[in-house]
Amino acid sequence: MENADILLLAATKTWIGEHKHKIPKHIAVEEVSEKEMEKISSFKTPQAVIALIEIPKQDIKKSLKKEDWILVLDGIQDPGNMGTIIRSADWFGVHTIVCSDDCVELYNPKVIQATMGSLFRVEIYYLNIGEFLQQSHKIKYAATLNGENIFQINFEIPGILVIGSESHGIRPEVLKHCTTEVSIPAYGKAESLNAAVATSILLSRIRG
């Protein structure tokens, strides 16, 4: 995994036997029984191997110097949504995510599971996003229900995309720092889109 230092692998005897020739010598390997694996795993049906990985060290100043898109999340609290958003950001090549302090914890087991490893390729920070947006000179696009049609906007210059919470959207104190409100046009009668789904559609348009 990129940007991931594996400290230990806990695995069953069978898994070790099948993969030992692929494991780098500097990585410690601990053999555990299937019953022990069930106890330490958060899955109902655990995998045959679990990795202990050091939390990556990140430098936001270095991240912000990159002339690329930044994703800002305001109050995303559902672990599945958070993990899927991180995975989508990774897919579309957005490598920096800034979260409000009340977003769900990055290392929540359900978040980690939903990222499918993408959290090791995306740098994620928890900040006062109002201050962050105010200090940034990038164009700031806020995803709302009443903004400009995303298919009529030119997204050639990298900016910041702000996504609001599942229940309340973007808070007024955050929205006031945004440059433009944008919306995904609706053709049916659904009231709104899931935050993770909306993020994926917006990122696809930005990269399209």
Q: Tell me the backbone φ, ψ of residue 149, rounded to 5 degrees.
A: -60, 125
Q: Do 186 and 135 share a domain, yes or no?
A: yes
Residue 98 identity (one-letter amino acid): V
Pick the more confident residue, 20 or 198.
Answer: 198
Q: What is the CATH number of the domain that holds 132?
A: 3.40.1280.10
Q: Tell me the backbone φ, ψ of residue 135, rounded to 5 degrees.
A: -85, -15
Average confidence (pLDDT) over 173-184: 97
The model's pTM: 0.87
27-37 per-position pLDDT tens digit: 999 999 988 98
Greatest C-alpha distance within the chain? 58
Where residue 178 falls (left for φ over 0; alpha for ψ -120 to 50; beta otherwise) is beta
Pick the more confident residue, 62 or 187.
Answer: 187
Q: Do 29 and 81 share a domain, yes or no?
A: no
Q: Do 105 and 69 share a domain, yes or no?
A: yes
Q: Do 120 and 161 share a domain, yes or no?
A: yes
Q: Do 144 and 44 share a domain, yes or no?
A: no
pLDDT of residue 3: 60
How many angstroms separate the CA atoms of 10 and 32, rounded? 6
Give the count of domains, the chain: 2
Q: Do 181 and 199 share a domain, yes or no?
A: yes
Domain that holds residue 33: 5-54
Pick the more confident residue, 73 or 47.
Answer: 73
Q: Is the pLDDT of residue 1 over 50?
A: no
Q: Do 94 and 25 share a domain, yes or no?
A: no
> 84: helix, coil or strand?
helix
Helix, strand, coil percent content, the chain, rounded in steps of 5: 35, 25, 40
Q: Do 89 and 131 share a domain, yes or no?
A: yes
Q: Do 13 and 65 share a domain, yes or no?
A: no
Count of residues making up the chain = 208
Q: Do 126 and 186 share a domain, yes or no?
A: yes
Contact by Cβ (8 Å): 50, 40: yes
pLDDT-derived band at 130 (thresholds 50, 70, 90) equals very high
> 121: helix, coil or strand?
coil
How many angstroms separate the CA atoms of 140 and 160, rounded? 5
Contact by Cβ (8 Å): 6, 53: yes
Q: What is the rounded average pLDDT for all residues in the chain?
A: 92
Q: Do 203 and 102 share a domain, yes or no?
A: yes
Task: State which H helix or E strand residue 135 sits in.
Answer: helix 129-135
Q: Do 31 and 68 share a domain, yes or no?
A: no
pLDDT of residue 2: 57
Structural tokens at position 114: 């939903």
Q: Is the pLDDT of residue 4 over 80?
A: no
